[in-house]
Amino acid sequence: MSIPGDDERDLLRDLLEDVVEALDLDAEIEITVDEDGETLVATLQGEDLGLFIGRHGQTIDAVQHLAVRALAALKDRPRRVVVDAEGYRARRREALERQADEALAEVLETGREVALDAMTASERKLVHTYLAERGDVETHSEGKEPERHLVISPRTAAE
């Protein structure tokens, strides 16, 4: 395990400060390292960061992708980076889990598969992981980006 160095934190902070400034926002940026010592977590707090988050999280996801790419150029082994603003990631996780629970109930009640709305790869992964331990349903993704979506199906008795 190697702890992210100051150069990585500085690069991430500089990138986020540039984005915040370009969007004419006022935000405090905190950079921490998670328990595994491998993930940099950047948290923004401030007034009305909706523009930073973007519609359906598109802007915050793009900024996070840029941060990963910037850190990959700095080091041979890319770090995992999570960029969050005003608790958006936790709220989105809860919303996706609620959506999965509602679809799950429908699948179990009707015995038919249910397709969720289109979502990003990371959101689909979150739902796949959320439902992975269940023995009564399975999940898979269908479609092409940006309309790729997750499908929840009842698990057949033969499996």
Query: What is the structure's pLDDT at 159?
Result: 47
> Cα separation of 60 and 51, whole Å?
9
The bridge status of strand 80-85 relative to strand 39-46 is parallel
Q: What backbone phi and psi angles, to 5 degrees, belong to 142?
A: -135, 160
With 80 as the cut, is the pLDDT of residue 94 above it? Answer: yes
Is residue 1 one of the residues assigned to a domain?
Answer: no
44 and 74 fall within a common domain: yes
Query: pTM (2 decimals)?
Result: 0.84
Do residues 11 and 45 both lie within one domain? Answer: yes
Banded pLDDT at 158 (limits 50, 70, 90): low
Question: Across the strands, what pairs with 151?
Answer: 115, 140
Give residue 1's pLDDT: 42
24: CATH: 3.30.300.20
Residue span of the structural domain in which 28 resides: 6-86
Mean pLDDT of 48-61: 93
